[in-house]
Amino acid sequence: MGDKWTLLIIRDALDGKRRFSEFERSLGVAKNILSDRLRLLVDRGVLTRTPNDRGTRSEYELTDAGRDLFTLLLSLRQWGERNAFAAGEAHSTLVDPATGEPVPQLRPLLDSGAELTPEQAVLVKVGASLPPELATREPS
């Protein structure tokens, strides 16, 4: 997922693009790179490849795993809206179709409803146990 073309293809698929030519036109990527990334996404179970109505060319559709990347892409989009544009600079915005309002900012929340900050999060690696100060806490 770390390749920029891979993320852009997934973004475009989430936006409804399904055909090789649509991805190519939208991204301006070389055919060999696009073909390679599409094949990789199919192999990894992010996209499925199906013949179109006429059976002449394939269309690509997101799998459940591919649709599950929506939250990741939304998070990256919102980061870009906050950090990659100058104040007042025009950019696209993802909106709620029912209200026309921008989609609320994603934030991880604690059970209490408070925002989880990076300083509060603790990573427990595979095979490791909770740090002693966390292991003795009562669940909230």
**CATH code for position 40:** 1.10.10.10
pLDDT in tens, 3-41: 899 999 999 999 999 999 999 999 999 999 999 999 999
* Within-domain flag for 39: yes
* Within-domain flag for 14: yes
pLDDT band at 139 (very low <50, low <70, confident <90, very high): low
pLDDT band at 90 (very low <50, low <70, confident <90, very high): very high
Which two tokens mark 70?
């929506």
- From 115, 81, 109, select the one nearest 95 (Cα to Cα): 81
pLDDT at residue 118 is higher than 80: yes
Domain count, the chain: 1
pLDDT band at 132 (very low <50, low <70, confident <90, very high): confident
Q: Which pLDDT score is estimated for 51?
A: 87
pLDDT in tens, 49-58: 998 777 778 8
* Within-domain flag for 13: yes
Q: What are phi and psi for residue 95, nearest 5 degrees?
A: -125, 155
Instruction: Supply the range of the domain harboring residue 22.
Output: 4-67
Which two tokens mark 105?
């900012």
Rounded CA separation 41/66 (Å): 9
Return the H-helix or E-strand segment holding 8. helix 4-14
